[in-house]
Amino acid sequence: MSITKNEIKLIRALQQKKVRNQEQLFIVEGIKGVREFLNSHFELYKLFSTESIFDIDTTLISEQDLQKISALKSPNTTLAIFRKPMEQPIRESGLLIALDDVRDPGNLGTIIRLCDWYGIEHLICSLETVDCYNSKVVQATMGSLTRVYVHYINLGDFLKQTKLNVFGTFMNGDNIYSETLPNEGVIIMGNEANGISPNIELLVDKRIGIPRFGKLKAIESLNVATATAIILSAFKMK
C-alpha cells in the first residue's frame, strides 16, 4: 500500500491554515517529533515513512514521495498527519501567558517551549496570532506542543471576564527586577512590531518591563520570545 494521489494533495493542502481548520488535521515531520506526538494525547490520522520504525500501521513510501510531501529541505524519514485536539477549557489559575498578535512562527515555537519548561500549561493566543499547527511552529516546538494547551480566542473578551490579575509588558513598565511578582496572573506579550494593541492595553492591571542595562544608545527592544523568557524567569524565580 503506497501513498495515494489524494493523500499527497491533502498533505500539501494542510500547509494552509484554512484547510487545517476545515479538516481538523495537521502535519508533524521527523522521527523524533512524530514519536513525541504518538506518545501524547494527540490522535494519529495517518503515518508515512520510508522505513518501518514504528509499531503501528505505517504507509511505506519512497524517498521521492517523501520529498514530494515534505515541507523541509532535508526531510527526515517520517511524516505524520495528526488530528487537532478537542478544545479544552482554559484553567484560570496559576500563571498564564497570553499573546497579542505574535506573528512569527519561530517566536511562537520558542514561547511554547518556554511554557513547557516553566510548567505553564495554558497558552492563550489572540485570533491574529500565528497558528500553532503551522508546520514551522510544530517543528520549532520540539514536542512541547504535546504538553502545552494553546487556545485561540478573542483576547479582549477573555481578559474582560477573568478574575486573574492582568500583567502587560511594556518598554516603560515597572522594573520586573524590583517588583514582587505573584504566582498567579495572566502575562500579556505583544506583537513583534507594535507591542500590545491599544484595546488590550486598556485591560491591563499592571504594567511591567525589563530594564535595560546597556548604554543610552543601546537597542530599543528585545525579541518577543527572548522577552518572554526573561519575564517568565522573573515570575518563577524566588
Task: Please give the residue ranges that form the binding site for a copy of itself (CB under 8 A).
Answer: 106, 110, 113-114, 116-119, 142-144, 147, 177, 210, 212-215, 217-219, 222-223, 225-226, 229-230, 233-234, 236-238
| Nearest to a copy of itself of 67, 223 (CB atom) | 223
User: What is the number of H-type helices and E-type strands within the chain?
Assistant: 9, 10
| Nearest to a copy of itself of 117, 152 (CB atom) | 117
8 Å CB contact between 115 and 86: no
Taking the complex as a whole, the smallest distance from the CB of residue 222 to a copy of itself amounts, in Å, to 6
| Nearest to a copy of itself of 61, 95 (CB atom) | 95
Taking the complex as a whole, the smallest distance from the CB of residue 146 to a copy of itself amounts, in Å, to 9
Strands 78-83 and 166-175 turn out to be unpaired
CA distances from 44 to 26, 35, 67, 149, 209 (A): 10, 11, 21, 18, 41
What's the sign of the alpha-carbon dihedral 228, 96, 167, 125?
Answer: positive
| Nearest to a copy of itself of 16, 221 (CB atom) | 221
8 Å CB contact between 135 and 29: yes
Taking the complex as a whole, the smallest distance from the CB of residue 145 to a copy of itself amounts, in Å, to 10
| Nearest to a copy of itself of 203, 224 (CB atom) | 224
Helix axis angle, 105-117 relative to 224-236, nearest 10°? Answer: 10
Alpha helices, DSSP H, located in 24-154? 31-38, 63-69, 105-117, 135-141
Residue 133's H or E segment, with its range, is: none
| Nearest to a copy of itself of 5, 238 (CB atom) | 238
Strands 122-126 and 149-153 turn out to be parallel
Taking the complex as a whole, the smallest distance from the CB of residue 180 to a copy of itself amounts, in Å, to 13
Taking the complex as a whole, the smallest distance from the CB of residue 21 to a copy of itself amounts, in Å, to 27
Taking the complex as a whole, the smallest distance from the CB of residue 71 to a copy of itself amounts, in Å, to 17
